[in-house]
Amino acid sequence: MSGAAAGRETAFDPEKSAGDLAEGVAIGYRDGHVLTDRPILAGATGVVWSLSVMASLPAASTHFDVPTAVRPYTLNRVYSGTILGVHLLALLAFVPQFFSWIGFWAMVVGIHVFGQGITIGYHRLLTHRSFKTLPWVEHCFAILGICCLEDSPARWVAVHRIHHVHSDEQTDPHSPLVTFLWSHFGWLMVNNREAQSLNAIATYSKDLLRDPFYMRIEKRPWILMWIGLAQIPVFFLAGAAIGWIGWGREAALPLGLSLVVWGVYVRIVAVWHITWSVNSLSHMFGYQNYETGEASRNNWFVALLTVGEGWHNNHHEDPSSASVQHRWWEIDISYYEIRLLEALGLAWDVVTPRHVRRREAAAKSA
C-alpha cells in the first residue's frame, strides 16, 4: 500500500451538516503532512468527509492484493450471469439480419440518454448530491440508470462512496492498483462481503433509503429485473411500429428485432464498458491537475466517451461539484445538461467547482 493510502484517515457521517464544512482550509497535521477536507456528498442530506494526506500519487509500480472482503472468493452469480448473458446477446449484432441504421442510431442515442442515468443520476445527483431536483425528475434518472443494469441506485451509491473514502487503498472495491482487469470488471464477478453488504448500504446510502422509492427497490429486488426486462418489449414494439408505418407489415419484425439487439443489448454493453473505463483507465492513464493522494487521472479519451466523467482527477479533488470542467478545454457536457435542467426550473442549488465558489465568496466579501 502506498504511503498516501496508509496515511489517509476516513470517517463517514451522512448526518453531518454541510454548514460544518470549512472549504479548502487545512484542518490539521499528522507526521508532517497537511490534512485537508474533501467533501464527497453535498447538500441537505449531509457531507461525507474524507481526510486525505496531501502526498504524491501511488507509484505506477505500486500494487496490492484484492480487498480482504472478497477472500475466499465466491462467485457473484447475479452479476457474473448478467454480464456474461448480455455480452452473449450483444454478439447477435454480428448477424447481418439484425442490423439496421435505425437500430444503430438507437444504440448511439441510447448510450447518451440511458448513460446519463448513471452519470447525472446515480453519480452526480444520488451519490454526491451536487444539485437538487424534483422527486419525479430524480426518479426518472434513477430508472434510466436501472435500465443500464448496473444494480440498484442504493447499492451503486454505496460502492461509489466507499470508493471515494478508500480510493486506491486495498479496501477500494475496484482499484486498478490490483490489476486493470480487476478494476474494469473483475471486481463484479465475486462477492465483496463488505462493499455489497446490507450494512454498507445502510451506512453509505442512508439518505437514499429515506425515500420510499429506493427502499421499495431494496425490499423487492425483482423490481430491478422487471424494469430491465421491460426495455425489450418497448424497443421491439417501437421498432415494429416504425417498420410497419415506414415500409409495410413485412418490415415490422426485422426492425423490431434490430432495435432490441442494437438499442438494448449492444447499448447496455457499451454503457457498461464506458462506465467501467472510469474505474480503470482514469486511474491509470492521463494527467493530474491536483495532488489528491490517490491515482485518479484526467483522461481525455474517457472524458469523450463519458461526456465529462473522464476528468477524474478534477472530480476526486472536488467530488461534490456538479462540474468537472476546471480548464476551459476540459469540456463537461453533463454539466451543461445539468445547467439546462436549471434553466428549465428542474434543478437548483447546483454546486459549482471549488475555485468558482472561492472566487464568488471573495467577491462577496470584497
pLDDT digits (tens, 9 = 90+) for 138-162: 999 999 999 999 999 999 999 999 9
Q: Give the range of the structural domain holding residue 335, as residue numbers without chain letter.
A: 73-365
Query: What letters, b where the CB count within 10 A reaches 16 and e where it falls short, cover 328-366?
Result: eebbbbbbebbbebbeeeebeebbbbbeebeeeeeeeee
117 within some domain: yes
The residue among 186, 163, 200, 191 whose CA lies nearest residue 5 is 163
Number of structural domains (the chain) is 1
276 within some domain: yes
> Which pLDDT belongs to residue 362?
86
Asked if 16 contacts 49 with a C-beta cutoff of 8 angstroms, the reply is yes
125 within some domain: yes
9 within some domain: no
The C-alpha cell 472482503 sits at: 69
CA distance 237 to 23: 51
What does the block give as the cell for 267?
Answer: 447499448
| pTM of the model as a whole | 0.85
- The pLDDT tens digits of the residues spanning 31-61 come to 222 223 445 444 433 333 333 333 334 444 5
5 within some domain: no
238 within some domain: yes
- The pLDDT tens digits of the residues spanning 71-83 come to 999 999 999 999 9
The confidence band for 64, taking pLDDT boundaries of 50, 70 and 90, is: confident
> Which pLDDT belongs to residue 364?
83
4 within some domain: no
| Average pLDDT for the chain | 86
39 within some domain: no
The confidence band for 355, taking pLDDT boundaries of 50, 70 and 90, is: confident
